[in-house]
């Protein structure tokens, strides 16, 4: 497909600001900027999310409810009218040789799009809905079709072909982005390839300029996929180059060397209430070796829920504190930070180690004084949420940071740690996660971290029985089981899904749920915990549950990670269908912590008859297997909780699908860096440019939130 002759405009070049493309108001440019698009090249590299197949128009007489169709016809009439609540509705009747169909759009605003003038030829693409006895098209995309011999309004192909739908954000519509991309295409020819043609040929990939045309306006889906892989190659090359560099830089970074000799080792172990498992021992040895070096440790500790990561963290923190440095332990929630405070507090009973928890409940003067004590080195262990490493918290001599259950701890946060150790030294870092990231993926995403894995669980733990239930048929049974457990003095969690903190409906569900459970269990105390409660309220409820004063805790997902209440044996998850498998597995980790087994009830309220997804949980207790399954079903973004930004900022690359390509990229990157580590040779100018652009983008998006 040849781009249109650009009318009265000089052709764009890749480095131009997108404003040269026309049709992009300041608002739209800001929206593009949120997608990381500033220049024409950025836009060209914005891979479509999907393609709409608009090659096969459907005769109007044959429209079937529920299908997504392309209709080509002529506008017979159109009108705009006001409905309730000031809503404006556009309605058009479109006809082809076989019949007529109504299309309706709900907009705010009274203008009539030009394409809807009577007599205009249009392509409508959308879903067929029933309306009374007839069918209509619900808010279809409209494309104005040029009359024969007439040039289309803007020349952008929108019908009779595969049409790209690009990533969007508020303020942008698919046609706007498509038009901008179309106008940007002439700049593609000026883009040089990052690898020489023979290397690309060896990988079976097209040249960039060809790839970009096929990416946005492909003739066949296979061409689009090949083009996507060509773009993915560049992303993966840059990724591998950055990883390789970071590995090299680490040797230039300094950290306090902390030696753990046999005496200290024995002292620390004496404080633990159990002896470490073999798996914990192995990880402790790896960590001790890292700490002894004058370069910062960067270690990711993966261990399934309940595998005993906290004890490993405690070991490392105690070692660092014993050698006169400070330690910080960050948890994702305050509830969890408080739990760590209790665990560590118990271990350190009678010692001289000073612990301070920086929680949100602490404000004003008390917090200020705590901060000052930390800065003066009068506190040895600082606990809290991520606020612990914010700029406001200054340390005297921070030797180790442990980040619990936060696999998203990024490069930038790591960067913030620099200088916290004083004398240009950076503290050691241990990131712990129960999100069982498959090993292949871990190496990709955390390629510059060393990975330790705790396999298995501490002895004495019983498996959790898991069942998926249909509330209509088995609701009674569930209640009986819960009642039976509570009757013998055990405790239970009931979890409600919450899409986000501000999800009012989810909150309602939990509040109503608490009332219902309280009515059903008049002899027991039922508590409620959710993210909108004040920190002190949460603390009170958690304490009551821990002490056994509250028997059943209804909670939103705030309890998801890390809470340790050994006496809780039952977990009921409401609307289990709304959770990811890995998330459910984490939730299930809340029970079966003591020496009695546990029961996990997944209430499936989806009315569909495909419970297979949830059944995976009933079938296995292996978090890794579950994560692989999740990955297959939902893609990497969901597993890592980074769907918005893509893994490591990838836009075109898809993992694990592109893992083979990643391997190629690693080899190519190593080959290049071996001969030209600084990417200074002019033959590597394109790569150097891509690396610089990637760093700049990371800076922009991270500082912009």
| Residues at the interface with ligand ADP (CB under 6 A) | 274, 276-277, 280, 303, 305-311, 434, 458, 562, 564, 566, 589, 593
Instruction: Cite the beta strand spans of 252-332 per DSSP E.
Output: 298-303, 326-330
CB closer to ligand ADP, 62 vs 595: 595
Helix 309-322 vs helix 334-347: crossing angle, to nearest 10: 60
Sign, CA dihedral 468-471-472-474, equals positive
Residues of span 531-590 touching Mg ion by CB under 5 A:
562
Nearest approach, Cβ of residue 441 and ligand ADP (Å):
20
Q: Which two tokens stand for residue 326?
A: 């400070």
320 touches 400 (CB < 8 A): yes
Helices (H), 13-112: 26-34, 40-44
Nearest approach, Cβ of residue 278 and ligand ADP (Å):
9
Nearest approach, Cβ of residue 310 and Mg ion (Å):
5
Residues touching Mg ion, count (CB under 5 A):
1
CB closer to Mg ion, 432 vs 662: 432
CB closer to Mg ion, 374 vs 571: 571
Phi, psi of 528 (to 5 degrees): -130, 135
Nearest approach, Cβ of residue 432 and Mg ion (Å):
7
CB closer to ligand ADP, 593 vs 666: 593
Query: Quick one: what does residue 276 bind among ligand ADP, Mg ion, none, with the CB cut-off 5 to 8 Å set by partner type?
Result: ligand ADP
- Sequence-distant contacts of 561-564: CB under 8 A, at least 24 apart: 561/332, 561/333, 561/336, 561/404, 561/405, 561/434, 561/586, 562/331, 562/332, 562/336, 562/339, 562/404, 562/405, 562/434, 563/335, 563/336, 563/339, 563/590, 564/310, 564/339, 564/343, 564/593
Helix-then-strand count for the chain, H and E: 22, 20
Nearest approach, Cβ of residue 303 and Mg ion (Å):
8
Instruction: Report the C-alpha gap between 700 and 410 in whole angstroms.
Output: 14
Query: Quick one: what does residue 280 bind among Mg ion, ligand ADP, none, with the CB cut-off 5 to 8 Å set by partner type?
Result: ligand ADP
Nearest approach, Cβ of residue 309 and ligand ADP (Å):
3
CB closer to ligand ADP, 278 vs 523: 278
30 touches 171 (CB < 8 A): yes
Nearest approach, Cβ of residue 435 and ligand ADP (Å):
11
Query: Quick one: what does residue 277 bind among Mg ion, ligand ADP, none, with the CB cut-off 5 to 8 Å set by partner type?
Result: ligand ADP
Q: Which two tokens stand for residue 29?
A: 């440019």
Nearest approach, Cβ of residue 440 and ligand ADP (Å):
22
Of the candidates 253, 215, 305, 199, the one whose C-alpha atom is nearest the C-alpha of residue 560 is: 305
- Residue corresponding to tokens 């569900």: 509
CB closer to ligand ADP, 317 vs 370: 317
Q: Which two tokens stand for residue 278?
A: 């073999």
Nearest approach, Cβ of residue 572 and ligand ADP (Å):
20
Query: Cβ atoms within 10 A of the Cβ of 61, count?
Result: 11
CB closer to ligand ADP, 310 vs 569: 310
CB closer to ligand ADP, 405 vs 604: 405
Query: Quick one: what does residue 311 bind among Mg ion, ligand ADP, none, with the CB cut-off 5 to 8 Å set by partner type?
Result: ligand ADP
190 touches 13 (CB < 8 A): yes
Q: What is the DSSP string of 40-64?
A: HHHHHT---SEEEE-SSPPPGGG--
CB closer to Mg ion, 384 vs 562: 562
366: left (phi over 0), alpha (psi -120 to 50) or beta: alpha
CB closer to ligand ADP, 124 vs 627: 627
Query: Quick one: what does residue 642 bind among Mg ion, ligand ADP, none, with the CB cut-off 5 to 8 Å set by partner type?
Result: none
Nearest approach, Cβ of residue 461 and ligand ADP (Å):
7
182 touches 155 (CB < 8 A): yes
Residues in CB range of 178: below 8 A, 6 or more apart? 156, 158, 163, 164, 165, 166, 216
Nearest approach, Cβ of residue 555 and ligand ADP (Å):
17
Instruction: Report the C-alpha gap between 205 and 211 in whole angstroms.
Output: 9
Q: What is the DSSP string of 218-269?
A: -SSHHHHHHHHHHHHHHHHHHHHHHHHHHHHHHTT-B-------HHHHHHHH
Provide the β-strand partners of residue 302.
433, 453
CB closer to ligand ADP, 183 vs 307: 307
Instruction: Report the C-alpha gap between 204 and 195 in whole angstroms.
Output: 12
Nearest approach, Cβ of residue 383 and Mg ion (Å):
13
CB closer to ligand ADP, 284 vs 653: 284
Contacts with Mg ion by CB under 5 A lie at 562
């Amino acid at each position: 497909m040849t781009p249109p002759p650009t009318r009265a405009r000089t052709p764009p070049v890749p480095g131009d600001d997108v404003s040269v493309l026309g049709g992009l108001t300041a608002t739209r440019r800001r929206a593009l900027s949120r997608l990381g698009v500033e220049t024409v090249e950025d836009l060209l590299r914005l891979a479509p999310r999907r393609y709409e197949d608009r090659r096969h128009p459907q005769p109007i007489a044959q429209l079937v409810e529920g299908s997504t169709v392309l209709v080509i016809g002529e506008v017979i009439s159109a009108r705009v009218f006001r409905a309730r609540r000031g809503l404006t509705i556009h309605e058009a009747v479109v006809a082809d040789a076989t019949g007529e169909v109504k299309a309706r759009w709900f907009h705010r605003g009274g203008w009539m799009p030009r394409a809807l003038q009577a007599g205009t030829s249009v392509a409508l693409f959308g879903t067929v809905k029933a309306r009374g006895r007839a069918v209509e098209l619900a808010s279809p995309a409209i494309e104005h079709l040029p009359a024969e011999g007439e040039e289309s309004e803007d020349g952008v192909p929108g019908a009779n072909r595969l049409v790209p739908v690009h990533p969007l954000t508020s303020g942008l519509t698919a046609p706007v982005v498509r038009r901008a991309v179309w106008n940007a295409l002439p700049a593609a020819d000026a883009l040089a390839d990052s690898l020489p043609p023979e290397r690309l040929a060896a990988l079976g990939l097209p040249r960039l300029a060809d790839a970009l045309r096929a990416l946005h306006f492909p003739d066949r889906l296979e061409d689009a996929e090949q083009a996507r892989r060509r773009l993915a190659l560049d992303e993966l090359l840059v990724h591998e180059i950055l990883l390789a560099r970071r590995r090299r830089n680490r040797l230039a970074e300094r950290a306090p060397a902390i030696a753990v000799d046999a005496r200290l080792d024995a002292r620390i172990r004496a404080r633990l209430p159990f002896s470490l498992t073999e798996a914990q021992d192995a990880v402790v040895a790896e960590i001790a070796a890292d700490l002894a070096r004058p370069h910062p440790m960067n270690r990711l500790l993966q261990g399934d829920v309940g595998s005993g990561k906290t004890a490993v963290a405690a070991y490392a923190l105690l070692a660092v504190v014993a050698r006169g440095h400070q330690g910080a332990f960050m948890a994702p929630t305050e509830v969890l930070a408080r739990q760590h405070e209790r665990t560590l507090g118990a271990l350190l009973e009678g010692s001289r180690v000073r612990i301070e928890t920086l929680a949100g409940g602490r404000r004003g003067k008390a917090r200020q004084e705590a901060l000052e004590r930390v800065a003066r080195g009068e506190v040895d262990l600082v606990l809290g949420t991520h606020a612990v490493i914010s700029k406001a918290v200054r340390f005297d001599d921070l030797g180790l940071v442990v980040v619990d259950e936060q696999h998203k701890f990024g490069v930038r946060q790591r960067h913030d740690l620099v200088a916290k150790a004083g004398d240009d030294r950076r503290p050691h870092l241990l990131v712990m996660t129960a999100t069982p990231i498959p090993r292949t993926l871990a190496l990709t995403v955390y390629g510059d971290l060393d990975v330790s894995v705790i396999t298995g669980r501490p002895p004495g733990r019983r498996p959790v029985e898991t069942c998926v239930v249909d509330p209509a048929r088995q609701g009674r049974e569930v209640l009986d089981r819960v009642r039976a457990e509570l009757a013998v003095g055990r405790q239970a969690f009931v979890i409600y899904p919450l899409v986000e903190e501000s999800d009012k409906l989810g909150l309602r569900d939990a509040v109503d749920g608490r009332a219902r459970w309280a009515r059903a269990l008049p002899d027991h105390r039922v508590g409620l915990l959710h993210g909108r409660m004040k920190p002190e309220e949460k603390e009170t409820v958690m304490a009551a549950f821990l002490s056994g004063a509250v028997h059943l805790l209804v909670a939103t997902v705030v309890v998801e990670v890390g809470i340790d209440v050994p006496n809780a044996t039952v977990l009921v998850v409401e609307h289990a269908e709304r959770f990811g498998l890995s998330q459910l597995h984490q939730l299930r980790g809340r029970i079966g912590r003591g020496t009695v087994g546990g029961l996990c009830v997944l209430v499936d309220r989806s009315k569909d008859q495909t419970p297979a997804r949830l059944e995976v949980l009933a079938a296995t207790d292996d978090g890794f297997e579950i994560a692989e399954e999740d990955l297959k079903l939902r893609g990497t973004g969901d597993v890592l909780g980074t769907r918005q930004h893509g893994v490591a900022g990838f836009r075109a690359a898809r993992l694990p699908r592109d893992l083979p390509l990643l391997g190629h990229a690693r080899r190519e990157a190593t080959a290049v860096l071996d001969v030209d580590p600084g990417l200074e040779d002019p033959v590597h100018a394109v790569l150097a440019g891509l690396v610089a652009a990637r760093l700049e983008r990371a800076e922009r998006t991270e500082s912009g939130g």
